[in-house]
Amino acid sequence: MQAGRGGRGCVSFRREKYVPRGGPNGGNGGKGGDVVLEVDPHVRTLIDFRFRPLQRAEKGQHGRGKDQTGASGEELVLRVPRGTVVRDAGTGESLADLTATGERLVIARGGLGGRGNASFKTSTNRAPRYAQPGEPGEERQLQLELRLLADVGIVGFPNAGKSTLISVISSARPKIADYPFTTLTPNLGLVRVDEESSFVVADVPGLIPGAHEGAGLGSRFLRHLSRTRLLVHVIDLSPATGRDPVEDYRQINSELENYKGDLGDKPQILAANKIDIPETTEALEKIRALAAAEGLEIYPISAVTREGVRKLVGAMKSGLDRLGPS
pLDDT (average), residues 217-226: 63
pLDDT level of residue 25 (50, 70, 90 thresholds): very high
Q: What is the DSSP letter of 211?
A: G
Q: What are the percentages of helix, strand and coil residues in the chain, rounded to 5?
A: 25, 25, 50
Taking the CB of residue 108, how many other CB atoms lie within 10 A of it? Answer: 24
Going from N- to C-terminal start, the domains of the chain cover 1-146, 152-323
pLDDT at 221: 64
Give whole-number Cα distances, 23 to 17, 120, 128, 129, in Å: 13, 11, 9, 11
Within 8 A by CB and 6+ apart from 245, the residues are 235, 236, 237, 272, 283, 286, 287
Reading phi first (left if > 0) and then psi (alpha if -120 to 50, else beta), residue 250 is in alpha
pLDDT (average), residues 91-95: 88
Least-confidence region, from 37-41, 153-157, 184-188, 293-297: 184-188
Superfamily of domain 1-146: GTP1/OBG domain (2.70.210.12)
Phi, psi of 243 (to 5 degrees): -110, 160
pTM above 0.85, yes or no: no
pLDDT (average), residues 22-35: 94
- HSE value, Cβ hemisphere, 13 Å, CA-based, for 193: 16
Residue bearing the bigger pLDDT, 216 or 260: 260
pLDDT tens digits for range 251-262: 888 888 887 767
pLDDT at 218: 43
Reading phi first (left if > 0) and then psi (alpha if -120 to 50, else beta), residue 181 is in left
What is the spatial distance between Cα 262 and Cα 260, in angstroms, rounded to a whole number? 7
pLDDT at 215: 44
pLDDT at 217: 41
pLDDT at 212: 41
Q: If you count them, how many residues does the chain have?
A: 326
Asked whether 36 and 107 are in contact (CB, 8 A), the reply is: yes
Fold of 152-323: Rossmann fold (3.40.50)
- Does pLDDT of 78 surpass 80? yes
Q: Which of 96, 115, 113 is nearest to 36 (CA)?
A: 96
Give whole-number Cα distances, 193 to 166, 254, 268, 314, 315, in Å: 14, 32, 19, 8, 11
Q: Which of 87, 140, 326 is nearest to 227 (CA)?
A: 326
What's the mean per-residue pLDDT of the chain? 85
pLDDT tens digits for range 253-303: 888 888 776 777 889 999 999 999 888 889 999 999 999 998 999 999 998
